[in-house]
C-alpha cells in the first residue's frame, strides 16, 4: 500500500513538473465539422435511408399517434371530470383532506390560465411514463435476475443519469427532428434509469423464504416471478414510477427547445423575459401536475396502516356509467374549457416583492455575490488553469476513481477528462467544475444534518415530504429566475439554484439511510449504555 502511494506521488510530481498548464489548443481535434457533416447527411437521407424508413420514422409516427390520442381524450373531457376522478381515487384511502387538495391541484392550472398548456404537458408525461414502464420493468427484472446483464446495464444507466438533459436533445433533433414526439423520446431516455433501477431493487429485495416456499410447492421459475417476485416488488416499482414522473416533469422546460410546448414553453418564455412571478406561478402548475400523478399512483398501492374504502364491482360500474353520462352532458352543453381564469394576476406582486428584497438586502446579497465570485470561483479557475497541469489533474482524478471503484472507472475518468481537452472545452469545463464543487459542498452541508434530523422524526418528515416533492418537481430553470432577480446575472444565481435543486434528494437519501439502520444494532448499543449522540455517530 505504501509503495502504491509513493508511486502515485512520484507520478503526480512528474506530471506537475513536466506537464503543461491549461490544455493546449493545438490538440483540439475539431469535432464540429464531422458532426455538421453527419447532420447534412441525415437531412439528405431522412426519407430514403432504410433505417429512417423502417425504424426511426415509424417510431415517431407511433409516438405521435399516442400523444394525439391522449391529448384528444383530455381535450374532449369537460374540465371538472379529471378533478372528480382524482378526488374519488385518492379518497379511497380515507384521506379526505389530501383528496380535496389533490382535486384542487387538478384545477389549479385552469385557475391561473394555463389549462390547455397543462393538457399538452400531461399528455406528454402520460405517454413518456407509459413507455418508461413498458421498457423499464422488463429491463429491471432482467437486471435483477441476470448478473451479466446488470454489469452491462449499470454503466449505461450511470451515464444516462449523469449526462445533462440538454445533451440528449442534440442527437434527438439530429435523428427525429423537432416536435412533441421527439420531445417525448428525449423524456423517455432521461427518465428511464430510475424505473429500471427501482424495479431491479424491488425484485432483488424479495425475501428468499418467499421464493423457496413457492419452489417447494412446485412453482416454475416463470410462476415464481409472476406470482411472488413481481407482486412483492410492486411498492418499489410504484416508487420507480413516481421518480420517473418527477424526472420527466423536470425536463419539460428543456424539452421546449425541441418543440414540446405546454407548460414548459410558458416557463421558458418567463425565463427569457425575467418574469419571476409568472415563472413561479406556471412552475407551480408543473408541481400541481406532479402532485396529482404522485398521489394518484401512491393511492393505488396498499399502504400499511391505511384502511381503504372497498368499492363493490356493481357500484364501480354504476359510477363509471354516471361519470360517462355527466361527461357527455358536459360535452353537449360546452363545459369543456375552464369557466374562469384569474390568469397570472399574482405575478405582479411577486415581482414587486423580489425587487423590494433585492433593494432592501443589497448590503448582504452583493458582498455574498462578490465573495463567491472573487474568493472561490476565480481562485478555483486559477488553480485548474494556471497552477495545476492538466496531466496532474488526470492523474489525481484517475487515482481517486481507482480507489473508489477500480481500474475501469479510472480509465473512463482519464479518457473523459482528456476528451474534454481534445474538444477545446477545457476553460469552460474548469468554470463548470468550480461552480459544481461549490454547489455540492453547500448542498452537503445543508442536506446532511437535515436528513439526519428528519430520519429520526418520521412525523415531521411526513409533513415536509410534499415540500420536498415540490422542490424536486419545479423545473430547475424556474429556480434561476428569483435568484437572478436577487443577485443579478452571473454564476451565483446558478449556484444557489443548483443548491436548492440538489438539497431534496440529499435530505431524502440521508433520511432513508438513517431509518434503514437495523433496530437490533441500535438496541444493542443502547443496552451497553450508549447515549443518543453515541448511537448516532457510532451506529447510525
In this predicted structure, the answer to whether residue 310 has a pLDDT above a threshold of 80 is no
Residue 355 shares a structural domain with residue 328? no
Summarize the confidence of residues 360-388 as an average pLDDT. Answer: 81
Phi-psi region of 130 (alpha: psi -120 to 50; beta: other; left: phi over 0): alpha
Average pLDDT, the chain: 78
What number is the average pLDDT over the span 213-227? 80
CATH of the domain at 534: 1.10.3720.10
Query: Hunting for cell 421498457 — which residue is that?
Result: 135
pLDDT at site 493: 81
Q: Are residues 313 and 355 in the same domain?
A: no
How buried is 262 (Cβ within 10 angstroms: 0-12 exposed, 13-18 middle, 19+ buried)?
buried
In terms of domains, do 464 and 529 share one? yes
Domain span at residue 432 reads 351-387+424-538
Tell whether the model's pLDDT for residue 304 goes beyond 60: no
Find, among 271, 294, 266, the residue nearest to 282 by Cα: 266
pLDDT reported for residue 478: 66
Is residue 328 in some structural domain?
A: yes
Q: Is 363 exposed, middle or buried (0-12, 13-18, 19+ CB in 10 A)?
A: exposed
Whether 534 and 448 map to the same domain: the answer is yes
Count the helices and strands in the chain (H runs, E runs). Answer: 29, 0
Examine the domain organization and report whether 217 and 283 are in the same domain: yes
pLDDT at 419 over 80: yes
Q: Could you tell me if residue 339 is inside a domain?
A: no
Q: Across residues 291-309, what is the average pLDDT?
A: 66
Same domain (yes/no): 105, 213: yes
Structure confidence at residue 202 (pLDDT): 85
| pLDDT score at 336 | 67
Burial readout 387-400 (b: 16 or more C-beta within 10 A, e: otherwise) = ebbbbbbbbbebbe
Short-list 124, 125, 247, 121, CA closest to 195:
247
Question: Could you tell me which residue, 129 or 168, shows the higher pLDDT?
Answer: 129
Kindly state whether residues 154 and 72 are assigned to the same domain. Answer: yes
- Asked whether residue 117 falls in the same domain as residue 196, the answer is yes
Residue that is written with C-alpha cell 428528519 in the block: 454
pLDDT digits (tens, 9 = 90+) for 1-48: 566 677 767 777 777 777 777 777 777 777 777 777 777 777 777 777
pLDDT of 148 > 80? The answer is yes
Answer yes or no: is 9 within a domain: no
Residue owning grid cell 381564469: 341
Instruction: Count other Cβ atoms within 10 Å, centred on residue 167.
Output: 12
Of the two residues 454 and 526, the one the predictor is more confident about is 454
| 142 & 207 share domain | yes
DSSP string of 438-488, one letter each residue: HHHHHHHHHHHHHHHHHHT-HHHHHHHHHHHHHHHHS-HHHHHHHHHHHH-
Q: Among the three residues 270, 299, 333, which one is the final residue of a domain in this structure?
A: 333
Identify the pLDDT of residue 519.
Answer: 64
Greater confidence, 47 or 70?
70
Q: How confident is the model at residue 87 (pLDDT cuts 50, 70, 90)?
A: confident
Specify the DSSP class assigned to residue 93. Answer: T
20: in domain: no
DSSP letter (8 states) at residue 28: -
Nearest alpha carbon to residue 492 among 367, 354, 372: 372
Same domain, yes or no: 173 and 250? yes
**Judgement on whether residues 180 and 264 belong to the same structural domain of the protein:** yes
Q: Is residue 291 part of a domain?
A: yes
Q: How far is CA 413 from CA 131, 363, 393, 405, 434, in A?
A: 32, 42, 11, 11, 17
215 domain residue, yes or no: yes
* Total number of domains in the chain: 2
- In whole angstroms, give the CA distance from residue 305 to residue 126: 30
Is residue 35 one of the residues assigned to a domain?
A: no
**CA separation for the pair 275, 62 (Å, rounded):** 37
**Number of neighbouring beta carbons within 10 Å of residue 330:** 16
Residue 224 banded pLDDT, cuts 50, 70, 90: confident
> What tens digit of pLDDT does each residue of 487-517 get?
777 788 888 888 888 888 888 777 777 776 6
Instruction: Calculate mean pLDDT across residues 253-265.
Output: 77
**Closest to 97 (Cα-Cα) out of 463, 536, 354:** 463
Q: Are residues 325 and 449 in the same domain?
A: no
DSSP code, position 27: G
The three-class DSSP label of residue 530 is: coil
Question: Are the beta carbons of 428 and 491 closer than 8 angstroms?
Answer: no
The answer on pLDDT for 367 being more than 80 is yes
Q: Is residue 2 part of a domain?
A: no
Q: What pLDDT sits at residue 296? A: 77
Quote the pLDDT of residue 535: 60
> pLDDT at position 383, please?
80
Amino acid at each position: 500500500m505504501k509503495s502504491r502511494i509513493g508511486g502515485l506521488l512520484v507520478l503526480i510530481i512528474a506530471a506537475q513538473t513536466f506537464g503543461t498548464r491549461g490544455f493546449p489548443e493545438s490538440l483540439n481535434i475539431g469535432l464540429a465539422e464531422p458532426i455538421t457533416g453527419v447532420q447534412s447527411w441525415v437531412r439528405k437521407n431522412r426519407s430514403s435511408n432504410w433505417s429512417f424508413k423502417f425504424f426511426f420514422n415509424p417510431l415517431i409516427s407511433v409516438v405521435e399517434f399516442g400523444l394525439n390520442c391522449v391529448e384528444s381524450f383530455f381535450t374532449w373531457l369537460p374540465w371538472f371530470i379529471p378533478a372528480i376522478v382524482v378526488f374519488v381515487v385518492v379518497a379511497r384511502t380515507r384521506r379526505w383532506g389530501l383528496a380535496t387538495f389533490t382535486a384542487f391541484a387538478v384545477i389549479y392550472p385552469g385557475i391561473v390560465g394555463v389549462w390547455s398548456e397543462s393538457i399538452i404537458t400531461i399528455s406528454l408525461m402520460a405517454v413518456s411514463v407509459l413507455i418508461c414502464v413498458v421498457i423499464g420493468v422488463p429491463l429491471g427484472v432482467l437486471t435483477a435476475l441476470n448478473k451479466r446483464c446488470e454489469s452491462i446495464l449499470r454503466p449505461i444507466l450511470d451515464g444516462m443519469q449523469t449526462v445533462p438533459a440538454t445533451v440528449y436533445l442534440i442527437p434527438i433533433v439530429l435523428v427525429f427532428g423537432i416536435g412533441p414526439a421527439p420531445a417525448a423520446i428525449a423524456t423517455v431516455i432521461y427518465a428511464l434509469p430510475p424505473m429500471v433501477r427501482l424495479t431491479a431493487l424491488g425484485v432483488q429485495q424479495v425475501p428468499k423464504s418467499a421464493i423457496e416456499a413457492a419452489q417447494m410447492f412446485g412453482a416454475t421459475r416463470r410462476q415464481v416471478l409472476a406470482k411472488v417476485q413481481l407482486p412483492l416488488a410492486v411498492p418499489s416499482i410504484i416508487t420507480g414510477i413516481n421518480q420517473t414522473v418527477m424526472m420527466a416533469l423536470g425536463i419539460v422546460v428543456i424539452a421546449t427547445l425541441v418543440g414540446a410546448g405546454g407548460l414548459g414553453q410558458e416557463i421558458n418564455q418567463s425565463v427569457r423575459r425575467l418574469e419571476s412571478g409568472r415563472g413561479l406561478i406556471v412552475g407551480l402548475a408543473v408541481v400541481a401536475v406532479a402532485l396529482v400523478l404522485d398521489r394518484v399512483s401512491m393511492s393505488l398501492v396498499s399502504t400499511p396502516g391505511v384502511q381503504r374504502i372497498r368499492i363493490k364491482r356493481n357500484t364501480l360500474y354504476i359510477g363509471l356509467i354516471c361519470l360517462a353520462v355527466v361527461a357527455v352532458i358536459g360535452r353537449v352543453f360546452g363545459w369543456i374549457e375552464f369557466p374562469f381564469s384569474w390568469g397570472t394576476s399574482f405575478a405582479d406582486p411577486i415581482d414587486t416583492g423580489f425587487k423590494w428584497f433585492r433593494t432592501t438586502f443589497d448590503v448582504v446579497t452583493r458582498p455574498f455575490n462578490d465573495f463567491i465570485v472573487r474568493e472561490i470561483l476565480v481562485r478555483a479557475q486559477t488553480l485548474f488553469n494556471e497552477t495545476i497541469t492538466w496531466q496532474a489533474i488526470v492523474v489525481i482524478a484517475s487515482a481517486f476513481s481507482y480507489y473508489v471503484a477500480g481500474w475501469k472507472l479510472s480509465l473512463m475518468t482519464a479518457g473523459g477528462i482528456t476528451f474534454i481537452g481534445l474538444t477545446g472545452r477545457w476553460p469552460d469545463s474548469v468554470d463548470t467544475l468550480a461552480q459544481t464543487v461549490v454547489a455540492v459542498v453547500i448542498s452537503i452541508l445543508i442536506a446532511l444534518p437535515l436528513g439526519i434530523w428528519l430520519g429520526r422524526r418520521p412525523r415531521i418528515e411526513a409533513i415536509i415530504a410534499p415540500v420536498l416533492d415540490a422542490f424536486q418537481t419545479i423545473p430547475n430553470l424556474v429556480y434561476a429566475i428569483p435568484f437572478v432577480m436577487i443577485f443579478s446575472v452571473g454564476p451565483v444565481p446558478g449556484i444557489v439554484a443548483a443548491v436548492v435543486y440538489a438539497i431534496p434528494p440529499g435530505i431524502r437519501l440521508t433520511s432513508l439511510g438513517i431509518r434503514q439502520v437495523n433496530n437490533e444494532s441500535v438496541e444493542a448499543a443502547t443496552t451497553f449504555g450508549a447515549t443518543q449522540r453515541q448511537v448516532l455517530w457510532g451506529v447510525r
